[in-house]
Structure 1
């Protein structure tokens, strides 16, 4: 059985991140976990304290706490984790968001069948047969379906989710760091998907369960988010090659550095 790196991006999710860590204790999941890194993106709440408390109570699970040296955004935290996975010899890395909307157990059928080895990326999808959504309004569901259709037409690949909080990446394709110039914002995943399609990487989508309960919602940002997605599609259509090569960041960062935080007794 392969040992995977589990990456948990965390920002102001003190209430939720312990629940996410508890998912790793599932006897079906635990054997797959080689190591877990919680990447704290300079949270302003008690996220870090919550992780430390969990680590003290569960020393048997290899959980490392990394604190970004700056607030790099969600995309920047991915870049930290991708680099960590490559530097530490992992073949595959799981992304499991720290806000406890997704369930890592949904990845088990993909892992246990071994089918994940045939793909460069396995993406959790909230909007395909077999998925389950709780707490989403019909407006949000309809909007997501609409953008999935637009991205499918633009990328010429069947896209069923632009970025959930449960994904599995093969590390080898990431070693070129083709993602380095992508935005460090929430749009990072969208740029990843379009670029993976351009690079003809092998993608698969698998159904997941998804819930929104006590998490911080981005519903008020949906209009601006949608406009930016349309702009991304337009720029990709004009020149996919230029889209992949361009600098997307408003602030260029040469190295996404972090500090490892030891367990505090």
Structure 2
């Protein structure tokens, strides 16, 4: 057994997060000695990479911005090549509490993918209006596909075991919501199981969230379209996905 097989890899996709990523990395490293931290610098134009290195993270630098999906596929490829058995994604902006990492990872004892769910009666994180309606519809449909109750299928705070890592290396879409909804539907169609662990979200320290009231209606339309594409195309990918892991 290699050293990496005993450890948990924390992947932090980051785009222009120089004001947040340093503290996020330090918090993760302080949460447990069992965590290795890799920041995927997604084509940042600020000091994200330097700040992350100074905080103690390994940094993978992409030459231009690929989005969360492209960044995470890079991270999963790194995990597979280095023999990690457990990986968890943590956002660079500090909204995911590193104190919850181990709780989410422990969900892998009963499933291949463990989601840190924001809408599971823990914390006071709320979303209103069309964006909330879209999240409810997405959760309902994906719950039926996964045959388990899921309340937050757009959460980026999620862990993967070795089977899921191998699946994500083969297929992890980069388009809008592909890194959450599409990747999850594809994994379920490939025979992987999913569970969720209730977590509380924290406020972003610096910067503004990617979504705002003006874009709520757009989110509703785009999320529905993303789910439709995921449901339509992933069954066709099933034979490839069911291939035995390397």
State the TM-score, normalized to the length of structure 1: 0.76
Corresponding residue number in structure 2 for 1:158: 149
Structure 1 stretch displaced more, 214-223 or 98-107? 214-223
Residue 196 of structure 2 corresponds to residue 209 of structure 1:
no
Corresponding residue number in structure 1 for 2:243: none
Cα pair 1:7 1:96 within 8 Å, conserved: yes
Query: Structure 1, unaligned stretches of length 5 or more?
Result: 56-62, 247-265
Residue 20 of structure 2 corresponds to residue 19 of structure 1:
no
Deviations 1:142-167 (A, max 9, x none): 54234322433455542211222321
Residue 7 of structure 2 corresponds to residue 3 of structure 1:
yes
Aligned residue for 2:115, secondary structure, equals strand
Output the CA distance in 2 between the equivalents of 1:118 and 1:155.
14
Query: Structure 2, unaligned stretches of length 5 or more?
Result: 241-246
State the TM-score, normalized to the length of structure 2: 0.81
The verdict on how the C-alpha distance between 1:200 and 1:30 changes in structure 2, with shifts beyond 3 A counting, is same
Aligned residue for 2:22, secondary structure, equals helix
Corresponding residue number in structure 2 for 1:178: 170
Residue 82 of structure 2 corresponds to residue 88 of structure 1:
yes
Corresponding residue number in structure 2 for 1:43: 44
Deviations 1:192-250 (A, max 9, x none): 1111222231111001111334342222433223212212333455564136689xxxx
2:65 to 71, 96, 111: 71
What is the number of equivalent residue pairs in this alignment?
231
Q: Decide which structure has greater helix share.
A: 2
Output the CA distance in 2 between the equivalents of 1:92 and 1:65.
19
Greater length-normalized contact order (CA 8 Å, ≥ 6 residues apart): 1
2:221 to 192, 217, 227: 227
Cα pair 1:104 1:166 within 8 Å, conserved: no
Aligned residue for 1:211, secondary structure, equals coil
Which structure: larger Rg? Answer: 1
Deviations 1:79-110 (A, max 9, x none): 10010000001111111110111112113335
Aligned residue for 2:6, secondary structure, equals coil
1:121 to 76, 95, 113: 113
Aligned residue for 1:75, secondary structure, equals helix
The verdict on how the C-alpha distance between 1:239 and 1:119 changes in structure 2, with shifts beyond 3 A counting, is same
Output the CA distance in 1 between the equivalents of 2:157 and 2:225.
25
Output the CA distance in 1 between the equivalents of 2:216 and 2:128.
14
The verdict on how the C-alpha distance between 1:224 and 1:242 changes in structure 2, with shifts beyond 3 A counting, is farther
Cα pair 2:104 2:159 within 8 Å, conserved: no
